[in-house]
Amino acid sequence: TNKPQNKTLNPYFSLSLSLSSSHLLQAFNSPPATFFHPSPILSLSGSLAEDLAISYLQLFVLPVALAASEAPNSNNQIFATMTLLEQILKASSVPKTNDEPLNYPFTLSSESIIPNLKPFSENPFSPLQPLTGFQISQSDSDLIESNSEFFKKLKRKVKSPHSLTSSSFIKMLNSFLHIIGEKKFGGLDGLGENKDEEGEGYTCKLVEKCGSFIGRDVMGLVIEGCLVLGNWEILKTLIVNKFIVDHGLRSELLYNLVSKGRCDLVSLCLRYFTDLESSDLGRILKCFLSPSKDGCLNMAIVKDEWESDANAAIDKLSNNKKLSGKKLALAKDAALLLMTAYDQFTPSELCLHFMLSPSNVDEVVFSSAVSKLNTDEMLSFVRYLGKWLRKYERFPQVGPCPKAAAKLGLNMCQWVPRLEDVVKSLGLVVDEHFSSLALHSDFHEDLKAVEGVVSSLASEGRLCCSVASLIEILKPEIGGV
């Protein structure tokens, strides 16, 4: 209704639309030979395909349909657009398999693709045109072939793990990473001189250099090999460098790490993974609140990390002659913050610090994870939150020190939960488990203690607000004097 009359099309509309379509298809891991006949879409999860299809419909299909309705041959143009949309939705219903290598396992280099894309026709008034000139660079083609060959070779080995040893796995992975280094960078800047080295430390250096070009299909097999053979340092390197980007691989990895009691690597995932699902967070919460025997042993690694940073902060204050005024003040704040976060907390509770502090954990997702806790786990979590509230009541001067990580190298400062994080988490527990908290007598004593601390903090907060308001009122008068 109320369609504008005499509407003219932007001459650049067709080209920009075609380029946008090219980007969309690249996101689906499928290079567009033409816009009308896209290649089959591969390895696309259902929810992602549906979301992208809806976005595509809103951003591209509707504007094109409006423009095409005023142009000749509009039926063909709309049909071509809807054909792509149908392929996107069709791909969402195809289950993902890891039996065959992907055709395009990693992000292609756009430098040799985008400049060569040209519209099929020079007619500036055509609202929708196919593109020509799409061609993958030779280096990317070689890497795709290498990924495919290594996938098939490693797949055979992983299927029969009795024939795969840690040394043979490392040797295979090193050889594959050398090929990536040679084809993508023309060398490995000295790393290639140690081709016969079989140590895990050398492999970690190669992964840091070339890990971003490991295909998603190969990445799944590498993770599986590390889990089976216990090559934890390689796995740690993949996590820290954020090379594990597929959500399915992340969830599967977290499930296996929890099953094996590797709480140290689970806490590492919390620091470097984003957009975790509620099932993953719930699994992690249960892992920390009711750890297995192996989990308790590996939590000592996390405890050592906190203790190391706390001691480092104390050492920096002891050698305060090397620090300037601002850095010295920052070191004092960081030392107090780390002391508060470390003292009187158990190894299990030190792992929970990472659960509360990340800003990338959505509140709704975290609330869903909290709802899956049983009575004992919920009681442990409430006591942990109460311990934090008492800490902030005792040390009201403690506050976040995000700059300490970059300026002083005290990385744990960025993972200390703030008071608002603790209060928000307590509120979620009360919302999700109100009836259990009210009916179970085991909670009453802990909740009364928490209520007293919260009341004390609230009254102190009201007093601070009153003082702040008084300062704002007096400022103009002081300025006038």
Q: Is the pLDDT of residue 194 over 80?
A: no
Q: What local confidence, expressed as pLDDT, does residue 251 receive?
A: 93
**pLDDT of residue 470 exceeding 60:** no
Residue 111 in this model has a pLDDT that exceeds 70: yes
Whether the per-residue pLDDT at 247 is higher than 80: the answer is yes
Return the pLDDT at 448.
Answer: 67
Q: What would the mean pLDDT of 74-86 be, rounded to a whole number?
A: 51
Looking at this protein, which amino acid is placed at residue 242?
K
In the prediction, which pLDDT does 40 show?
32
Residue 453 banded pLDDT, cuts 50, 70, 90: low
Supply the pTM of this predicted model. Answer: 0.72
How confident is residue 433, by pLDDT bands cut at 50, 70 and 90? low
**What residues does 118 pair with on adjacent strands?**
132
Mean pLDDT of 249-260: 94
pLDDT of residue 42: 33
Write out 199-210 in H/E/C secondary structure: CHHHHHHHHHHH
pLDDT band for 285, please (50, 70, 90 cuts): very high
**What's the pLDDT at 219?**
93
DSSP states of 62-88: HHHHHHHTTSTTHHHHHHHHHHHHHHH
DSSP labels, 5-67: SS----TTHHHHHHHHHHHHHHHTT---S-SSSPPPP-S--HHHHHHHHHHHIIIIIHHHHHH
User: What is the pLDDT averaged over residues 196-219?
Assistant: 86
Q: Is 374 helix (H, G, I), strand (E, B) or coil?
A: coil
Residue 49 has a pLDDT of 47
